[in-house]
Amino acid sequence: MDISILLALQDFRNGAGSILAEFLAKMTFLGELNTVLIVMAIVYWCVSKSFGTFLLMGWSANRLVNGVLKVTACAYRPWIRDAAIVPYGDAVTTATGYSFPSGHTMNAATVFGGVAVRKDMPKVLRIVMLALVVLVAFSRIYLGVHTPQDVIVGGLAGLLVMWLTYRLMQWVEAHPEKDMMVVCVGVGLAIAVAAYAGLKPYPMDYNAEGKLLVDGAKMANDTFKGVGWCIGFLVGWILERRFVGFSTDVPMMTRVTRLAIGLLGFYVISLILLPLVKVWIAGAAGALVTCFLQMLYLSFLFPWCIKRFEKNVA
DSSP state of 117: T
Distances (CA, A) of 157 to 54, 67, 109: 16, 12, 8
* Residue 214: its H or E element: none
* Cα separation, 101 vs 146, whole angstroms: 8
What's CA 101's distance to the chain center, in Å?
12
Tens digit of each residue's pLDDT (9 = 90 or more) over 282-310: 888 999 999 999 999 999 999 999 988 87
For the stretch 86-105, pLDDT in tens is: 888 776 777 777 899 999 99
* Whether 46 contacts 258, CB under 8 Å: yes
229 half-sphere exposure, CB direction, 13 A CA radius: 22
Q: How many domains does the chain have?
A: 1
Distance CA 199, CA 11 (A): 41
Residue 151's pLDDT is what? 95
Determine contact, residues 113/133, Cβ cutoff 8 Å: yes
CA distance 314 to 310: 6
User: What is the DSSP code string of 257-304?
Assistant: HHHHHHHHHHHHIIIIIHHHHHHHS-HHHHHHHHHHHHHHIIIIIHHH
Cβ–Cβ under 8 Å, residues 39 and 59: no
Distance, in Å, from the CA atom of 227 to the CA atom of 196, rounded to the nearest integer, reads 11
According to the model, what pLDDT value does residue 278 have? 84
Domain range for residue 43? 2-313
Confidence tier at 80 by pLDDT (50, 70, 90): confident
Percent of the chain with pLDDT over 70: 99
**With the C-alpha atoms ordered 115, 117, 121, 124, is the resulting torsion angle positive or negative?**
positive
pLDDT for res 313: 66
Q: Provide the pLDDT for residue 310.
A: 78
307 vs 312: CA distance, rounded Å: 9
* Count of Cβ atoms closer than 10 Å to residue 214 Cβ: 19
Q: Do 223 and 197 form a contact (C-beta atoms < 8 A)?
A: yes
For residue 314, pLDDT beyond 60: no
Say which amino acid occupies 187.
V
Using one digit for the tens of pLDDT, what is the confidence trace for 177-218?
999 999 999 999 999 999 999 999 998 888 778 888 888 888
Angle at 99 between CA 79 and CA 191, to 5 degrees: 150
pTM of the model: 0.93
